[in-house]
């Protein structure tokens, strides 16, 4: 009996309802030589959605540097892979889960973590570290506390249960995210460099197998509807499109997949993420230049009566599709049975280049694979800077009054949510499981050791979206160099980047311009620092009621320590150590946290950046650490020198160590204390090493200033600041608990 | 000596415990699968941290019914050494091998971080190499670590010196501020009356290497090894499969 879903041709009006344009609908009809049926229209709508097709971003992403001698896998697979020697490699990726997390914070964030974990273990890598970048609205907004609590609990709920440590991240608060929070989740895994698995179907007749959880009706059109369109104030109504996570099942899936990968049974494997069974099977076939046939009657399901459309588009979590070697089906079944999971053959690889879907012995979809992948639309959308771009960059310093009390200004900054201690957040995450965490959350970068080697991996995730709002090109460059500087301060050489590009509606020229400028900034910075972008994710349509978020190109940076004993943290280690500053402090306050928090202004140009200078500073810091000269290293970032010094004093567990500093310079006091000049690193070292460091700095052409020394239990910055460390710590540690209590 | 580390579905710290036993202490450690009943002749069974069976029900409530637990319970009743860490502690309470129960943290949130613990008794195979009153620093990471028991049980635990570890401040005082989860009497770890079954919420396996920030956990592992060597507890897993 022919189902109406398979026989009735769809019209352009129905195409529009599926989020396609009239032109895209005509394009589909041409590719098929007929109008699509309902099932096929569903398949096209998700595969051609912004989320799956990258139709607005592809032309720009191609400009990023993705190659390098260590790159084993660049963008286009489930995750990027970089060689770290000793026969090992790291696989990593970052991904957004923004709209689901705004609609349902706990499950949205949890399934974000679950999805990125699958992307990494699909490559054959054992996940060993998670990071996340979270951005919420201001605390004045009534939903912010609810969202913070839900998202943090969801990130922890998933990561803690599956047993992968959350070792670091960043948390920002800005009114620009009031109605559209960002949840970007990152996972890094370790894989043997000769055992990397890819999602590239091969071998006609090889069985296509479905493993993991059963399919239900959750998350249908999660990707195409939630992630590929703006919000319009009906978030509550969209809750059914958010998937529900089950970290326990994913733990079983993780262990089963890694166990199976030890055997010679898998040809290709891909997780079922956005657009579920559809995108996973289509993408595997597309990469291999093959066709694929799927029999929906064999798909394990949670409830009866599911239609072909629902089965193909469901985004039920904790599922994978794999192409097994013919004859190895029982090997797959046995491993999954051990872990009490389903593993069934649902189809086979074909050579006709078609996606053929059968249900009830009837073909319900028949689409050329290339129509869904290579021939998906790609747009070079119009781009133009916002009208007020130049006006907002103006900042006559004469209009900014000097603070009358620098002690008070520093305490105000340390109490500001963006600068305050994030212990309230990371204290809810298991950052220890797997027994590799050498530098715990709270320093510039987290460091994990690589078991069986002397090596370590440093990890950081960064973006200052205020910089990006005021100048997306410079802001994106700074996101890259700051990430690199953070891993350098931990003693690691930057290896590679994964980026999560969160922007508003790309159909608006101003947003498209922000995107293009940000990609240009990432490119220039990555080229200058010689770090490739090996994976990433684009999230557009982060707007509500027509108001876009600040452009937020989040950069996750991965660095390598050849010797784990070189790992360095940001806090002071011993009384009497000398404190020095590498780099130059300029008279600039534009786009700073100080200007926003103390003066309530978001304007001015972001700090000046010279990539050549940046590179020199980073190289000097690394060689000083490698020579064993450095006891602590800290990137000078938001809040400037005064905040960085305070963090060096109080960041570590225990009572902390004071500092006695003398600051002078021909520039304004507030720029000296709180300005955010780039390419600066604070070091502390034994006095006897100062001569050697000066020599290195001289040879590297990097300015070095001796600021003072580690001493006592006060933070003294003559002639501006003199505070008891306890007061400094209280302001910094109580800021978030105070706002989130209750 | 020969150790066995149980893997339930959802166990997370099983790998880490086995790593410390094998690579830090050079011990013989085998993995015990939850569906098996054979304890493979081990001399101490460790129930590791994690979320056994997802812990969607009460923590540990499912795990106690697994096939391996039948053998572990018999082994413990016969005097064998059984050590539950975090989720393993919860499983031991659910299985009735230890008194009391572990409920949701008083603060209602998962907590991860270092705590100070006062060692209350050296009269167990798990603490013989420590000093009474010594303050150890170990990490915790749990959402359900609030130890509770009825007043009579609690009194008996204290009288019998079955409280092994208590949450304290850096100077060793058991204050309310030093209690991370609301446990009664600041209890972090207890031993059974026979002193062969030990459960604690903190993670000694995550404080067993200097590069990871501390080695206090090794004192507990080394105590077991020493007790075994001294022949105090030489009973091995001589329980028939299926028993």
**Residues A265-298: pLDDT tens digits?**
999 999 998 888 999 999 999 999 999 999 999 9
Sheet order of strands, A456-462 included: A437-439, A446-449, A456-462, A552-561, A493-502, A533-539
Mutation target among B7, B9, B13 for the A interface, most CBs of A within 10 A: B9
Domain assignment present for residue B236? The answer is no
Chain A residue closest to B14 (CA)? A434
A664: contact with B, CB 8 A cutoff: no
> Could you tell me the pLDDT band of residue A235, with boundaries at 50, 70 and 90?
low
Strands A88-96 and A182-192: antiparallel
Distance CA A60, CA A521 (A): 12
Mutation target among A253, A424, A435 for the B interface, most CBs of B within 10 A: A435
**Which residues form the domain of B97?**
2-229
Q: What is the mean pLDDT of residues A80-95?
A: 98
**Residues of B numbered 122-151 whose beta carbons fall under 8 angstroms of chain A's beta carbons: which are they?**
139, 141, 143
| Closest approach of A565 to chain B, Cα-based (Å) | 8
Structure confidence at residue A423 (pLDDT): 96
Task: Extract the tokens encoding A264.
Answer: 């010679």
Between A and B, how many residue pairs show a Cβ–Cβ distance under 8 A? 86
Domain assignment present for residue B234? The answer is no
Domain assignment present for residue B22? The answer is yes
Burial class, B9, CB count within 10 angstroms (exposed 0-12 / middle 13-18 / buried 19+) = buried
Query: What value of ipTM does the predicted structure carry?
Result: 0.94
Domain assignment present for residue B238? The answer is no
Mutation target among A148, A212, A430 for the B interface, most CBs of B within 10 A: A430
CB contact under 8 A, B9 and A248: yes
Residue A702 reports pLDDT greater than 50? yes
SS3 A150: helix
Place of tokens 């078991």: A451
pLDDT (tens digit per residue) in A374-411: 999 999 999 999 999 999 999 999 999 999 999 999 99
> Could you tell me the pLDDT band of residue A7, with boundaries at 50, 70 and 90?
confident
Percent of chain A with pLDDT over 90: 91
CA distances from residue B226 to B129, B136, B138, B218 in whole angstroms, order as listed: 8, 19, 21, 12
Residue B239 reports pLDDT greater than 70? no
State the CB neighbour count (10 A cutoff) for residue B155. Answer: 12
Chain A residue closest to B11 (CA)? A163
Task: Extract the tokens encoding A169.
Answer: 């991240």
Extended beta strands in A645-702, E state: 659-662, 681-685
Residue B10 has its nearest CB partner, among A251, A431, A653, at: A251
Residue A252 has its nearest CB partner, among B9, B20, B211, at: B9
What backbone torsions phi and psi does residue A714 show, to the nearest 5 degrees? -130, 155
Instruction: Report which of A307, A145, A323 is spatially closest to residue A217, judged by C-alpha positions.
Output: A307
Domain assignment present for residue B87? The answer is yes
Structure confidence at residue A219 (pLDDT): 72
Burial class, A734, CB count within 10 angstroms (exposed 0-12 / middle 13-18 / buried 19+) = middle
A421: contact with B, CB 8 A cutoff: no
Place of tokens 């604690």: B200
Residue B241 reports pLDDT greater than 60? no
> Could you tell me the pLDDT band of residue A228, with boundaries at 50, 70 and 90?
low
Distance CA A297, CA A346 (A): 8
SS3 B204: helix
> Could you tell me the pLDDT band of residue A443, with boundaries at 50, 70 and 90?
very high
A258: contact with B, CB 8 A cutoff: no
A160: contact with B, CB 8 A cutoff: yes
Domain assignment present for residue B240? The answer is no
A559: contact with B, CB 8 A cutoff: no
CATH code of the domain in which B86 resides:
3.40.50.880
Domain assignment present for residue B127? The answer is yes
Chain A residue closest to B113 (CA)? A427
Which residues in B lie closer than 8 A to residue A246 (C-beta atoms)?
54
Residue A158 reports pLDDT greater than 90? yes
Domain assignment present for residue B219? The answer is yes
Distance CA A69, CA A671 (A): 41
What backbone torsions phi and psi does residue A179 show, to the nearest 5 degrees? -110, 10
pLDDT (tens digit per residue) in B188-210: 999 999 999 999 999 999 999 99
State the CB neighbour count (10 A cutoff) for residue A375. Answer: 15
pTM for the whole thing? 0.95
CB contact under 8 A, A427 and B112: yes
CB contact under 8 A, A436 and B114: no
Which residues in B lie closer than 8 A to residue A565 (C-beta atoms)?
211
A153: contact with B, CB 8 A cutoff: yes
Whether A99 sits among the annotated catalytic residues: the reply is no
Q: Which helix (H) or strand (E) holds A332?
A: helix A329-338
How many structural domains compose chain B? 1
Distance CA B213, CA A432 (A): 11
Burial class, B163, CB count within 10 angstroms (exposed 0-12 / middle 13-18 / buried 19+) = buried
Distance CA A344, CA A161 (A): 26
């Amino acid at each position: 009996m022919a189902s109406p879903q398979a026989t009735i041709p769809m019209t352009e009006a129905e195409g529009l309802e599926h989020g396609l344009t009239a032109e895209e609908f005509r394009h589909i009809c041409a590719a098929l030589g007929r109008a699509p049926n309902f099932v096929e229209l569903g398949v096209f709508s998700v595969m051609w959605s912004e989320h799956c097709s990258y139709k607005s971003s592809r032309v720009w992403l191609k400009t990023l540097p993705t190659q390098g001698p260590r790159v084993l896998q660049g963008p286009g697979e489930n995750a990027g892979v970089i060689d770290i020697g000793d026969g090992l490699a790291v696989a990593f990726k970052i991904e957004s889960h923004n709209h689901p997390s705004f609609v349902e914070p706990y499950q949205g964030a949890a399934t974000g973590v679950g999805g990125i974990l699958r992307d990494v273990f699909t490559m054959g890598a054992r996940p060993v570290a998670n990071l996340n970048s979270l951005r919420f609205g201001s605390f004045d907004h009534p939903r912010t506390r609810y969202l913070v609590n839900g998202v943090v609990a969801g990130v922890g709920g998933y990561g803690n249960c599956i047993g992968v440590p959350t070792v670091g991240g960043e948390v920002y608060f800005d009114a620009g995210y009031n109605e559209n929070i960002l949840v970007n989740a990152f996972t890094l895994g370790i894989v043997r460099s000769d055992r990397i698995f890819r999602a590239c179907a091969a071998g006609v007749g090889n069985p296509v197998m479905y493993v993991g959880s059963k399919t239900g009706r959750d998350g249908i059109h999660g990707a195409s509807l939630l992630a590929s369109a703006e919000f319009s104030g009906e978030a509550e109504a969209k809750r059914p499109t958010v998937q529900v996570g089950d970290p326990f099942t994913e733990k079983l899936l993780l262990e089963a997949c890694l166990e199976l990968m030890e055997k010679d049974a898998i040809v290709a494997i891909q997780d079922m993420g956005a657009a579920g069974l559809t995108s996973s099977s289509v993408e595997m076939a597309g990469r291999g230049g093959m066709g694929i046939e799927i029999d929906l009657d064999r798909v394990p399901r949670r409830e009866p009566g599911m239609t072909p459309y629902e089965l193909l588009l469901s985004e039920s979590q904790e599922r994978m599709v794999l192409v097994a070697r013919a004859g190895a089906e029982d090997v797959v079944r046995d491993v999954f049975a051990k872990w009490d999971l389903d593993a069934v053959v649902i189809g086979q690889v074909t050579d006709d280049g078609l996606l053929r879907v059968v249900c009830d012995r009837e073909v319900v979809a028949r689409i050329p694979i290339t129509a869904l992948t290579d021939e998906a639309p790609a747009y070079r959308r119009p781009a133009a800077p916002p009208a007020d771009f130049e006006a907002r960059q103006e900042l006559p310093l004469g209009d900014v009054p000097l603070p009358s009390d620098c002690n008070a200004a520093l305490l105000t900054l340390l109490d500001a949510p963006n600068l305050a201690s994030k212990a309230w957040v990371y204290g809810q995450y298991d950052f220890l499981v797997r027994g590799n965490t050498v530098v715990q959350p709270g320093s510039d970068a987290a460091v994990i050791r690589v078991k069986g080697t002397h090596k370590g991996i440093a990890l950081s995730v960064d973006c200052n979206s205020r910089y990006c709002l005021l100048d997306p090109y410079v802001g994106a460059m700074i996101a890259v160099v700051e990430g690199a500087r953070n891993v350098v301060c931990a003693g690691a050489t930057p290896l590679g980047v994964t980026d999560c590009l969160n922007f508003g509606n790309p159909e608006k020229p101003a947003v498209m311009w922000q995107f293009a400028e940000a990609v240009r900034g990432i490119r220039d910075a990555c080229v200058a620092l010689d770090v490739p972008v090996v994976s990433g994710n684009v999230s557009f349509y982060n707007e509500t009621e027509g108001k876009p978020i600040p452009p937020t190109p989040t950069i996750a940076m991965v660095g390598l320590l050849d010797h784990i004993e070189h790992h360095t943290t940001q806090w002071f280690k011993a009384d009497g150590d000398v404190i020095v500053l590498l780099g130059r402090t300029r008279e600039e306050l534009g786009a700073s946290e100080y200007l926003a928090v103390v003066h309530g202004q978001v304007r001015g140009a972001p700090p000046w950046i010279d990539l050549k200078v940046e590179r020199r500073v980073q190289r000097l810091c690394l060689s000083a650490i490698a020579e064993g000269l450095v006891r602590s290293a800290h990137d000078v970032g938001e809040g400037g020198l005064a905040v960085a010094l305070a963090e060096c004093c109080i960041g570590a567990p225990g009572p902390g160590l004071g500092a006695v500093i003398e600051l002078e310079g021909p520039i304004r006091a507030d720029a000296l204390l709180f300005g955010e000049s780039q390419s600066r690193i604070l070091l502390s070292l034994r006095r006897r090493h100062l001569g050697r460091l000066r020599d290195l700095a001289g040879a590297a052409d990097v300015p070095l200033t001796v600021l003072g020394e580690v001493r006592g239990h006060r933070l003294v910055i003559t002639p501006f600041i003199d505070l008891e460390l306890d007061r400094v710590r209280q302001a910094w540690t109580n800021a978030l608990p105070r706002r989130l209590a209750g | 000596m020969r150790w066995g580390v149980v893997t339930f579905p959802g166990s997370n710290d099983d790998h880490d415990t086995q790593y410390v036993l094998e690579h830090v202490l050079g011990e013989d450690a085998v993995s015990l699968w939850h569906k098996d009943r054979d304890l493979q002749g081990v001399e101490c069974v460790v129930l590791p941290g994690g979320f056994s069976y997802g812990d969607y029900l009460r923590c540990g409530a499912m795990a106690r019914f697994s096939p391996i637990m039948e053998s572990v319970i018999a082994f413990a009743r016969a005097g064998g050494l059984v050590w539950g860490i975090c989720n393993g502690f919860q499983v031991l309470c659910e299985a009735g091998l230890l008194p009391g129960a572990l409920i949701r943290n008083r603060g209602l949130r998962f907590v991860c971080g270092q705590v100070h613990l006062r060692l209350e008794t050296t009269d167990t195979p798990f603490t013989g190499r420590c000093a009474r009153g010594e303050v150890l620093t170990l990490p915790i990471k749990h959402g359900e670590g609030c130890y509770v028991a009825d007043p009579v049980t609690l009194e008996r635990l204290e009288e019998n010196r079955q409280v092994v570890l208590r949450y304290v401040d850096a100077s060793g005082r058991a204050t309310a501020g030093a209690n991370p989860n609301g446990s009664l009497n600041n209890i972090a770890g207890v031993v059974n009356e026979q002193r062969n079954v030990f459960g604690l919420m903190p993670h000694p396996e995550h404080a067993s290497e200097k590069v990871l920030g501390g080695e206090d956990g090794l004192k507990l592992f080394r105590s077991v090894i020493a007790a075994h060597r001294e022949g105090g507890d030489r009973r091995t897993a001589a329980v028939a499969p299926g028993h």
